[in-house]
Amino acid sequence: MGSNRVDETINETISETIIEEIGKIKLNLKHYPGQDYYCDGDVEDELLSIAKDYAQVEYPRLIEERRSWPILYHLSPLRENIVEWLPIDKSMKVLEVGSGCGAVTGALARKAGEVTCIDLSKKRSLINAYRHMDDENVTIHVGNFQDIEPDLPADYDYICLIGVLEYGKAYIQSKTPYEDFLKILEKHRKKDGHIVIAIENKLGLKYWAGCKEDHLGTWFSSLEDYPDGGVIRTFTRKGLIQIAKRCGFSEIAMYYPYPDYKFMTCLYSDERLPRRGELSSNLRNFDRERLQLFDEKLVYDTLIREGQYPLFANSYVMVLGSELPVKYAKYSNDRADEFKIKTCLTHRKIDGAIVKQIEKHPLSDAAKEHIEQMYCAYEKLSERFDGGNLQVNRCELVREDGSGDAAGDLYAVFEYLEGKTMEELLDAYLEKNDMEGFQLLFDKYLACISYRQEMPITDYDLIFANILISADGQGYLIDYEWTFAKQMEVKEIAFRAIYCYLLENEKRNKLDLDLILKKLEITELDAAQYRQQEAAFQKYVTGKRMSMGEIREAIGQPVYSLSEFSMVPPAEKQKGKTQIYEDTGDGFHEQDSYFLEETFQEEKELQLLVENGRLAVRIDPCSDTCIVSLRQLKWNDTPVAFKNKMFSTNGFRVGDGVFAFETEDPNFTLTLSGFEQKSENILKVFMQVTRMPKETIGRMKKKKGLF
């Protein structure tokens, strides 16, 4: 009996040392090695301070004020989108491997009954714990995954690896680390559970367009299959699927988060791929400078037309397990709280049949009323357009738990309709330069939206993308989120539709806007007023917060376009190179010369190795007419005077150490007979070279009276 009490006391003491509580969060330190083996430096101290001192509702303000990539990356609420769409409920258990500072932990905690996190860093786990300290269903294990894994149960409904698989070679020491990683995780998956992997695509279009590789910060390294080695590896769609199949998985679904998985605003799938014109938010790299080698939106449109989007999506989400209902999701949570919603295309089993439907869910308590107002808009717009040529897509309100009582939050369900949007049809006319067809369809649009315009109900967002034309020609209003109980002029609604249409794609600029404004009887004063109203409406929707585009500008990473680079032909590039000749005893010859491997630069700092026994060295600063300012000339660290008889040039002096060359073969020669030589000698030259037209050099020569 006494022995048992001693054992209990020992166990309690061990328990106290391995469990640390932060609010309601438990940190399990049983396998913590005693020190963090990786750290991002001072920014982690800043993040910990924020997590301790500020509520999460203040994070958007802090992101705007501090204008820092790490602060945005770790604290942005948009990070949660990558897991928010998963059908997790309070009956489920979730394992999050590589939880870091908790970017997605909060979303998992709100949805699941129990969340287990694993991360190697204690400091990052503390940040996670402090920011979610009110969540009593979260336990964070600190330490190496392979040490912690044997202690985990085998009944997780969801196992999430968000930005983790690419580090598999560092986690798992084997010849097949990625496969072995998944096989280990599979042991902890419930029979009907899922493994969810989010990762960059090594062939993502943003890398072709000039973004640096996300992990290494180098251009084109993933496209070149990581030629410098290292532990980081991302994969193509095919590569990911092959890894899963080698592990024995047969139920594999691929999703495509856009712009990428870090700040996802849209999620596509093989059942609902992006349509032409949808992918316009491409300048979304916040961490470092980038090139812009082409317009990604236009290239995406080409890839979509050719059926190649999945190959070049910037990121992937691979779901292993039975089919999930969500096939598409669009997040509008960069808005004011009262308008934050999620729009989904789902395939749900209803009465034994698979039913496609569009759903709109609130993403905040404040947005619940906004969802309920959609049904009111449906009723009132249906009344207005009854008898006209535009039908309003049917809407109903459903409880989240399907109970029909007040237990669950309401969401709006819309009928899924097949057809093409008016935007797609108008684009087709523009591509064919069929302006008459464009105008006829635009006239039909005007006729539809003009029907019973005197009624005090208006959909302000009656843009072309929100009108669907079925195969039999019937028009449907498919999205009427922004409906107001007031009468508005048709020309104002039509102007906004055209205004948004033109802003989204430069290819549409061929449209004669003046002709349309004349048709609508809109004056320049009217147009200016409508643009101001649109700006005010956008601020009404987003509130006082900055958009992601504005945050990117505030962080200040530059974007370099091709127009900023001098596109010099090869022959011109050769002209800009410096050529070195050495006299080995019988004068200067091309075979004894060499070019320095450089592109043309005005500032040239040369350090030339000259072997013992050379009689002279000649330097051709370029192969063009030019002016050269010799800032410094040293032989074995001894300065050489330009008036020294050992120094000669075929140019003419225009200033102290400044020479002009009217020839395309400019050169300086240093005769070495007057200098002490070693076995190896160093000739240092620092000069500024400015290529100038021959005529300009000639005028300078004439002015100096040299001919």
pLDDT in tens, 547-595: 888 898 889 888 887 765 655 566 677 788 899 999 988 899 888 788 8
- As given in the structure block, the two tokens for residue 124 are 């990052």
Q: Kindly report the backbone phi and psi dihedral angles of residue 650, in degrees, each rounded to the nearest multiple of 5, phi listed first.
A: -100, 10
Other C-beta atoms closer than 10 Å to the C-beta of 408 total 13
Whole-model pTM: value is 0.78
490, 497 contact by CB (below 8 A): no
- What lies within 8 Å, CB to CB, of 287 at 6+ separation is 69, 73, 214, 217, 557
CB-based contacts of 608, cutoff 8 Å, min separation 6? 580, 617, 682, 683, 684, 685
Identify the helix (H) or strand (E) that includes residue 680.
strand 680-691
User: Buried b / exposed e across 515-542, counting CB within 10 Å, b at 16+?
Assistant: ebbeebebeeebeeebeeebeeeeeeeb
**How many whole angstroms separate alpha carbon 534 and alpha carbon 539?**
9
CATH number attached to the domain at 420-555: 1.10.510
- Exposure string (b/e) for 20-31, b if CB count within 10 Å is 16 or more? bebeebbbbbeb
Task: Give Cα 593 to chain centroid, integer Å.
Answer: 48
Place of tokens 């010849």: 175
From residue 653, give the alpha-carbon distance in Å to each of 383, 620, 659: 89, 16, 4
Which portions of the chain are predicted below pLDDT 70?
A: 1-17, 401-408, 563-571, 597-601, 703-707
Domain extents in the chain: 337-415, 420-555, 570-703
Q: Which helix (H) or strand (E) holds 42?
A: helix 42-53
**Alpha-carbon gap, residue 319 to 199, rounded angstroms:** 12
**Cα–Cα distances in angstroms (integers) from residue 521 to residues 147, 254, 495, 503, 516, in the given order:** 73, 49, 10, 21, 8
Measured from the Cβ of residue 687, the count of other Cβ atoms closer than 10 Å reads 22
Identify the pLDDT of residue 37. 79
* Token output for 663: 């020839």
Residue 707, both tokens: 């001919």
Segment 271-328, tens digit of pLDDT? 999 998 899 888 878 888 899 999 999 999 999 999 999 999 999 999 999 999 999 9
